Homo-oligomer: A and B are copies of this chain.
Amino acid sequence: MKPSIPSSAINRRGLLSTLAVLPAFGTVLTESAEAETTPPGGVLPSWNDGPAKQAIVDFVRATTDQASPKFVPPNERIAEFDQDGTLWVEHPVYTQFMYCLERVGPLVKEKPALKDREPFSTVLSGDREAIAKMSMRDLFEILLATQSWMTVEEFSADVRQWLATAKHPRWKRPYTELVYQPMLEVLSYLRANGYKTFIATGGSNSFVREYSESVYGIPPEQVAGTSQPVKYGYDKDQRPVLTWEPKLVLDNLEAGKIENFWLEYGCRPNAAFGNSSSDDQQMLEFVKAGSGARLSGLVQHDDATREYAYVPAQELPETKIGTLSQAMYDMAKKQDWIIISMKNDWKRIFTFE
């Protein structure tokens, strides 16, 4: 079912009128402009001036100025980012699942019984439309079948090798280049102002950690994701090894993204950015409900030319990922999240443009 947001409901005028009734933002800006640290390259250079950029700058100024009632001590400054659709492209299929799908062929050679079993037979059919319609449960079954029984080092090496050669079907570039330049600037800007930046992803922590530092400047230990358990054992030379097991122990889908963030890091972030109704809603709601200055940002995929328009554009096949529901849009408006229009707020999408 397609979400029913009328295209007129998602625009900057609506957001502008909301912000206009918030005098606090302007006040903070005037009082504390000198407290903020400008990263090399300037403050959010790929962002157009507008309420989204302004809200990010106001948040940083309010929380880093010691004279501000919303000042946050440096050791408590935490920002959480969804990855797929928020930091990099998630269409036509999540990058990690591209990796998994390519491993189904070799897997079936090893275990021929899987050939006639769903969801493996659909993957082997090569029917792109059918693959795109697979449920999250199907995707996770494939993930567990292709990402298990390897030591942590073997898996790491395999992911790195794949990332070095795989290319996105539309841009013909490595996936690690399909990162949103404006969001990289948000990460740098926050870090320049003392924030620790974290990823909370529905994907596997093990996959994202292979490139989080080089691509986002986020160290592996600050990546929370859906996780398989790790099992201690010994290899043939009696050396201790850790092996990924074919189960889920931490499920970061839906509310899991903020539940497990607390489980792993024990705090409510001051800022969070997401894009998906299914998996980011609770995270953004919970962050915004905290005391003091809190920033929840919703990336809206509305640029069919430079990236994708998910909703309400008709040009893409129906997809289960990343759609923005009416309920989430209403929540965003009601709770004063910032809505980030890729089309209007971002001067450019990618670094290579």
B-contacting residues of A (Cβ < 8 Å)?
75, 78, 152, 196, 198, 205-206, 209, 213, 219-224, 227, 229-232, 239-240, 242, 249-250, 255, 258-260, 262-267, 282, 285-286, 289
Q: Is the CB of B286 within 8 A of A259?
A: no
Q: How far is the CA of A209 from the CA of B224 in the complex (A)?
A: 18
Chain B residues whose CB sits within 8 angstroms of the CB of A213 once the complex forms: 75
Q: Assess the B221–A262 pair: CB atoms within 8 A.
A: no
Q: Do B221 and A263 have beta carbons less than 8 Å apart?
A: no
Q: Are B229 and A266 in contact (CB under 8 A)?
A: no
Question: Which residues of B sit under 8 angstroms from A223, Cβ to Cβ?
Answer: 266
The reply to whether A206 and B240 form a contact with Cβ atoms under 8 Å apart is: no
| Beta-carbon contact of B78 and A242 below 8 Å | no
Q: How far is the CA of A16 from the CA of B224 in the complex (A)?
A: 42
Q: Which residues on the B side are within 8 Å of A221 (C-beta)?
A: 78, 196, 198, 222, 264-267
Which residue from chain B places its CB closest to the CB of A282 in the assembled complex? B232
Q: Which residue of B lies closest to A287 (CB)?
A: B240
Contact A286 B242 (CB under 8 A): yes
Bound together, the chains give a CA A230 to CA B264 distance in angstroms of 10
A-B pairs, top 5 by smallest CB distance, nearest first, are A232-B255, A221-B265, A220-B266, A209-B266, A230-B259
Interchain nearest-CB distance for A163 vs B (Å) = 16
Indicate which residue in B229, B240, B263 contacts A286 across the interface (CB closer than 8 Å): B240
Output the least CB separation between A292 and chain B (Å). Answer: 14
Selected A-B contacts with CB under 8 Å, 16 pairs: A75-B213, A209-B266, A220-B265, A220-B267, A223-B266, A231-B255, A231-B259, A232-B255, A232-B282, A232-B286, A240-B282, A240-B289, A242-B258, A242-B259, A242-B262, A249-B263
List chain B residues, Cβ under 8 A from A266.
152, 205-206, 209, 220-221, 223
A276 CB to closest chain B CB (Å) equals 16
